[in-house]
Amino acid sequence: MDYDVIVAGAGPAGSTTAKLLADAGARVALVDAARFPRDKTCAGWLNARAVARFAFLDAARRKVGAAPFKRLVFHSPDLSATARYATRSHLGYIVRRRAFDAELLRLARRAGADAVLGRKIVDVHAGEHEVAVRLSSRRRLTGRLLVGADGAASPVARMTGLRQRWDDRQLVWCLARQVALTKKQVTDGFSGGGEIHVALGFGGAPGYAWAFPGSDFAGIGVGIRGGDGARLKSLYAAWAAHLKEKGFLPPRGGTARPDAAPVPAGAAIEFENHVGKRTLLVGDAGGFASAASGEGIYPAVRSAAVAAECLQKALAADRGQTPGATCQDELMRFKTEWRRELAAYLQMPNVNMTFLLPLIFTNQEIADRFARAFLFGENL
């Protein structure tokens, strides 16, 4: 057998799983179709609580020069009103996923994981005693266990029969762009350093628009649930024009040709197939993204940390080191353990948003509570 665990996907969820397992002494292969560094469509928001909880994330964000923010500005759907939430401490950081993901991959490799990059997994067979995957290079890898951390469209989920596709109502479709800024433009105040902007229900759509300041770029985008493509394009164009008009972006900022991506926001809550034969799903592959905000890095890493503990116990059972336990029983613990750790963060606040939304802009206490729910998954 080549490995203890084969991890498909080297984004935050996959690299975290691989690092934690390798730290514990497991033989790990980390497989990704891309070669790193690679671009990833994402707002680039790294939750401050993720950094506080995981030291390696803190190290990674320092290494790539993530830009901190201390203020969140909510905008009403028609952009006529604002509400501000501010603290003395950092609320989060804005990262370039290209650099951040490459750094997490480097940490996984330094821990001992073998990286197999530029190769797609084209076939999976989960047997009674091992999992075998075939790569686009025709190379065959075998392992005791398999982790699908290969994104919202997860080929592993499809090939193992855990899920063919997400339902449209479970997806938030996003159009996003990172607009490069010169040093002078940053100095001149473009990108509004230190605060992020969120237009709730922008244009009356079920979602929001965002503008997040990076160190030398501005991340902008619009996400709506359900995926009305034509409407999404028009909302993105209107939001980009508004940002230029208000001075967040320079007049000639390159906002054309945004990238599209689906986010399974809160999809994990209703999904029951995170665990299959010798297989489990983490990150976007398992629907681990916040329903309220669509934020995915923190739930990706946290789901991976929970998975790594279950995988270590499953490996011990598979080697006969845990009397009375089976490998599959230990894997199945993931289904309850992640809910204990993450369900409250992932689910949509149990409130009437039609009633609550106007109050955000007239009542500071409501604005503060909603900001904490948006940023940290706290209950309203």
Residue 131 contacts by C-beta under 8 Å, 6 or more apart in sequence?
Answer: 6, 124, 125, 142, 143, 144, 145, 146, 278, 279
In eight-state DSSP terms, residue 201 is: T
pLDDT on residue 189: 66
For residue 50, being part of any structural domain is answered with no
How many beta carbons lie within 10 A of that of residue 223, not counting itself?
28
Burial class (CB in 10 A: 0-12, 13-18, 19+), 251: exposed
Q: What is the pLDDT of residues 240-298, one digit of tens each?
A: 999 999 888 888 888 889 999 999 999 999 999 999 999 999 999 999 999 989 999 99
Q: How many domains does one find in the chain?
A: 2
Same domain, 30 and 113: yes
For residue 318, being part of any structural domain is answered with yes
Query: Does the pLDDT value for residue 379 go beyond 80?
Result: no
Same domain, 283 and 333: yes
Same domain, 181 and 79: yes
Same domain, 234 and 355: yes
In eight-state DSSP terms, residue 202 is: G
Task: Label residue 139 by pLDDT band (50, 70, 90).
Answer: very high
What number is the average pLDDT over the span 91-97? 94
For residue 25, being part of any structural domain is answered with yes
Phi, psi of 237 (to 5 degrees): -60, -40
Task: Label residue 185 by pLDDT band (50, 70, 90).
Answer: confident
Residue 215 contacts by C-beta under 8 Å, 6 or more apart in sequence?
Answer: 65, 66, 67, 94, 186
Strands 195-200, 71-75: pairing is: parallel
Same domain, 152 and 299: yes
Phi, psi of 36 (to 5 degrees): -100, 150
For residue 128, being part of any structural domain is answered with yes
For residue 126, being part of any structural domain is answered with yes
Task: Label residue 52 by pLDDT band (50, 70, 90).
Answer: very high
What number is the average pLDDT over the span 159-183? 92
Helix, strand, coil share of the chain (percent; to 5)? 40, 25, 35
pLDDT on residue 230: 81
Domain extent for 69: 59-94+172-263+349-376
Task: Tell me whether the omega of the peptide bond preceding residue 37 falls within 30 degrees of 0, making it cis.
Answer: yes
| Residue of higher predicted confidence among 229 and 175 | 175
For residue 70, being part of any structural domain is answered with yes
pLDDT on residue 152: 96
Same domain, 132 and 23: yes
CB distance 300 to 288 below 8 Å? yes
Residue 23 and residue 120: Cα distance in Å, rounded? Answer: 25
Range in 43-52, 139-148, 152-161, 271-280 the model is least confident about: 43-52
Helix (H, G, I), strand (E, B) or coil at 152: coil
pLDDT on residue 329: 96
Element counts in the chain: helices (H) and strands (E): 11, 18
Beta bridge partners of 135: 121
Strands 3-8, 28-32: pairing is: parallel
Same domain, 72 and 200: yes
Range in 28-37, 66-75, 175-184 the model is least confident about: 175-184
Same domain, 215 and 318: no
User: Average pLDDT over the chain, rounded to whole?
Assistant: 93
What number is the average pLDDT over the span 38-60? 93
Same domain, 304 and 330: yes
Task: Label residue 350 by pLDDT band (50, 70, 90).
Answer: confident
**CATH code, 338:** 3.50.50.60
Q: What percent of the chain has pLDDT over 70?
A: 98
For residue 162, being part of any structural domain is answered with yes
For residue 54, being part of any structural domain is answered with no
The C-alpha angle 67, 286, 227, rounded to 5 degrees, equals 75
Q: Among candidates 72, 106, 107, 317, which has minimal Cα distance to 197?
A: 72
Query: Does the pLDDT value for residue 227 go beyond 70?
Result: no
Same domain, 275 and 330: yes
Residue 13 and residue 281: Cα distance in Å, rounded? Answer: 10
Query: Does the pLDDT value for residue 192 go beyond 70?
Result: no
Same domain, 330 and 200: no
CB distance 132 to 279 below 8 Å? no
**CATH code, 364:** 3.30.9
Residue 279 and residue 18: Cα distance in Å, rounded? Answer: 14
Strand order in the sheet with 172-180: 82-86, 71-75, 195-200, 207-213, 217-225, 172-180, 259-263
Same domain, 176 and 194: yes
| Residue of higher predicted confidence among 354 and 260 | 260
